[in-house]
């Protein structure tokens, strides 16, 4: 079933699309120079939905490895509505695949500091054209409405920028290895969903530790937008405490491993199972650099969402919410 969907075909092409983004690296050095310039004290990374989760992935990665300027991830609606106090030394990193997300454009128009940088797949967009520096994401194909290559490519571009800002050769090496690792992850994810048996879930939570928290946010979004299942993405300790409170038989709890063995992840799985939830540990994140968890955990999350969406009789490539989303989200509306 998966192989007949445009969304899963987009996922299978992630290794080549990410390799193109990383190897081409158009604008990455320019953005790194702007973010790492003298006088920059804080990078305000912003986007909406999956693009906001890119910002979260960057922030969480910045907490590990060599130090750079402070990073804060802010939903773009907060910037556009005057709910954010800019400080001296701030620089904006706007994340938008289309480059036309309404809130980010409004933020740039209504007080965000200039110059700013962008991570986008559309250099001729409003945000792309106005940015002082722009890192380009390669998206050879987007057959489904849901972003696959655009989301993962934006994470790779953002972390590639950060590797240059902080002179982090280990992160750079991990990004270079990522396409080959994803080939194995995608194959493993495909086999994993085929072997799960019946999965009947009305609600779900997803949790992961450290940088895998960004992956949990994205995995929960995939369950919502592709499967139509209300889902919450949280950090592992939140999964073991507040998020587990709503779990009952018929609920789903998905854990996302990142890097070495994580006793807290195991504990959270046991707590959720004790509440009656079906607990699934996604494959693929155990061996990659944990800072790349938002990408390394993406294929199994997408595979699960596609399978559940198909079984629920949904159009996983063009969900029913598509037109409503574009009306409210895009600047052209």
What does 217-284 look like in DSSP terms, one character per residue? HHHHHHIIIII---EEEEEHHHHHTTGGGG--TTEEEEEE--SS--HHHHHHHHHHHHTT-EEEEPSS
Residue 68 preceded by cis peptide, ω within 30: no
Mean pLDDT of 19-38: 91
Q: What is the pLDDT of residues 76-110, one digit of tens each?
A: 999 987 789 999 999 999 999 999 999 999 999 88
Joined together, the tokens standing for residue 200 give: 């009947």
**CA gap 193, 197 in Å, rounded:** 8
Instruction: Please tell me whether residue 304 adopts helix, strand or coil conformation.
Output: helix
Strand ordering across the sheet containing 203-208: 231-235, 203-208, 251-256, 278-281
Mean pLDDT of 245-264: 92
Q: What is the pLDDT of residue 24?
A: 80
The CATH fold assigned to 179-311 is: Rossmann fold (3.40.50)
Helices H, strands E: what count in the chain?
15, 9
C-beta separation of 187 from 284 below 8 A: no
Residue 141: phi and psi, rounded to 5, are -145, 140
What is the band of 333 on the pLDDT scale with cuts at 50, 70, 90? very low
User: Which neighbouring-strand residues pair with 325?
Assistant: none
Q: What is the pLDDT of residue 286?
A: 72
Q: What is the pLDDT of residues 129-176, one digit of tens each?
A: 999 999 999 999 899 999 999 999 999 999 999 999 999 999 999 999
Mean pLDDT of 272-280: 97
Kindly tell me the burial class for residue 10, based on how many C-beta atoms sit within 10 Å of its own C-beta (0-12, 13-18, 19 or more). buried
Q: What is the pLDDT of residues 211-249, one digit of tens each?
A: 999 999 999 999 999 999 999 999 999 999 999 999 999
**CA gap 37, 33 in Å, rounded:** 6
User: What global pTM score does this model have?
Assistant: 0.94
Joined together, the tokens standing for residue 329 give: 């989200």
* Angle subtended at Cα 57 by Cα 195 and Cα 286, rounded to the nearest 5 degrees: 35
Write out the residue limits of the CATH 3.40.50.10490 domain(s) in the chain. Answer: 2-176, 179-311
CATH number of 2-176: 3.40.50.10490
Query: Beta-carbon neighbour count of residue 127 at 10 Å?
Result: 26
Question: Pairing relation of β-strands 117-120 and 70-75?
Answer: unpaired
């Amino acid at each position: 079933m998966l192989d007949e969907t445009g969304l899963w075909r987009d996922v299978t092409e992630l290794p080549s699309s990410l390799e193109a983004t990383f190897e081409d690296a158009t604008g990455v050095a320019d953005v790194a120079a702007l973010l790492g310039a003298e006088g920059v004290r804080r990078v305000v990374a912003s986007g909406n939905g999956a693009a906001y989760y890119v910002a979260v992935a960057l922030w969480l990665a910045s907490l590990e490895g060599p130090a750079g300027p402070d990073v804060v991830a802010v939903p773009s609606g907060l910037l556009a509505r005057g709910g954010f106090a800019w400080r001296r030394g701030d620089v904006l990193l706007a994340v938008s695949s289309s480059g036309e997300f309404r809130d980010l454009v409004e933020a740039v128009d209504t007080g965000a500091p200039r110059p700013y940088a962008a991570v986008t797949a559309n250099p001729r967009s409003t945000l792309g054209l106005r940015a002082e520096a722009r890192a380009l994401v390669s998206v050879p194909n987007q057959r489904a409405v849901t972003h696959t290559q655009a989301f993962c490519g934006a994470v790779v571009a953002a972390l590639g920028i950060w590797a240059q800002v902080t002179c982090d050769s280990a992160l750079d090496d991990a990004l270079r290895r990522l396409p080959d690792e994803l080939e194995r992850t995608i194959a493993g994810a495909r086999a994993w969903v085929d072997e799960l048996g019946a999965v009947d879930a009305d609600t779900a939570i997803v949790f992961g530790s450290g940088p895998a928290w960004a992956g949990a946010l994205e995995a929960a979004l995939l369950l919502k937008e592709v499967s139509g299942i209300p889902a919450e993405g949280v950090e592992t300790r939140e999964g073991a405490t507040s998020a587990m409170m709503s779990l009952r038989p018929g609920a789903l709890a998905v854990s996302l491993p990142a890097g070495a063995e994580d006793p807290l992840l195991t504990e959270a799985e046991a707590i959720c199972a004790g509440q009656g939830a079906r607990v699934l540990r996604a494959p693929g994140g155990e061996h990659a650099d944990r800072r790349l968890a938002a990408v390394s955990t993406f294929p199994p999350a997408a595979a699960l969402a596609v399978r559940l969406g198909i079984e629920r009789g949904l159009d996983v490539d063009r969900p029913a919410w598509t037109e409503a989303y574009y009306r409210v989200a895009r600047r052209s509306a």
